Amino acid sequence: MSPRPLLSIVLPACEEAENLRTILPGLRAALQETEIGDAYEIVVVDTPDRRDTTDEVCAAHGAVHVRESGRSSYGGALRRGIALSRGEWVATMDADGSHPPSVLPRLWVARQDADLIIASRYMKGGSTANPPLLVWMSLAVNIVFRGVLGLRSADISSSYRLYRGDALRALPLECLHFDIAQETLVKFPLFQPGCRVREIPFYFEQRRAGRTKRHLAVFTWSYLRTLAVLWRLQRRAKATQLKTEKEKREEAAA
């Protein structure tokens, strides 16, 4: 087996061959500017059935190409890519061209004092090229999730992130859609107490080619369902923590 890479990059890709032709060489060029050099792997998770030439593009640029098992979904593809990753650190990003490879070196530098780094559209210095309706929807999700779940990050729905690899692979992730970004952010500190989360600003670009895979009805339902599930999970975790602390105090007083 080849040596463990410093970095794994996981890219869920549904009919994104045209965008990958630009992204994959862009990632290689960006990483050559860092200490990573060639010590990385790119895992592209394609749809279960062949829909375009993604496999050929991956072969041409040295990326690992795998197909999602079962029905196609963003969350399912991301989970499969994470499970197959081997890197000490794992970066997740979209394959539609909205996440510039040039930002990855800045995420890498930021890892020095963090366990999870988010490329943020909504902190000072960040911005987005999305149309007003999508920006409003994204901001609404961020405001509601931050308020209900007590999250402090400015951009909780950004999927452009860098994680400590073993910690990410240990998470029991379940979401099928784009709400996996919120699930990961909530579960990371629950299963990795004391983890440090940091944000850096970036400019979210519009998709370069192809069509969006986000559907409003699915988007809305999945986010509402996930909010309820994560809220219950947080409450159970906090109740367990309080019970454990109480038992420790009772044992110390005995």
Question: What residues in the chain have per-residue pLDDT under 50?
Answer: 216-217
Residue with tokens 């890219």: 11
| pLDDT for position 212 | 59
pLDDT at 249: 82
Q: Residues 186-245: pLDDT tens digits? A: 999 888 889 999 999 999 997 766 565 555 445 566 778 888 888 888 888 777 767 777
Closest C-alpha to 96, from 11, 22, 199, 19: 19
What b/e string do you get for 127-163 counting C-beta neighbours within 10 Å, with b at 16 or more?
ebebeeeebebbeebbeebbeebebebbbbbbbbbbb
7-253 CATH = 3.90.550.10
Residues with Cβ < 8 Å from 66, sequence gap 6 or more?
43, 44, 45, 46, 80, 81, 84
Q: Are 225 and 233 in contact (CB under 8 A)?
A: no
* Residue type for position 104: L
Which residue from 180, 161, 190, 185 is spatially nearest to 225, judged by alpha carbons? Answer: 180
pLDDT of the residue at 40: 97
> Model's pTM, two decimal places?
0.88
- Contact partners, residue 211, CB within 8 Å, separation at least 6: none
Closest CA to 20 of 52, 51, 47, 54: 54
Q: Which is nearest to 120 in space by CA: 212, 208, 204, 184?
A: 204
DSSP-derived secondary structure letter, 46 = E
Give the pLDDT score at 87: 98
Q: Where are the domains of the chain?
A: 7-253
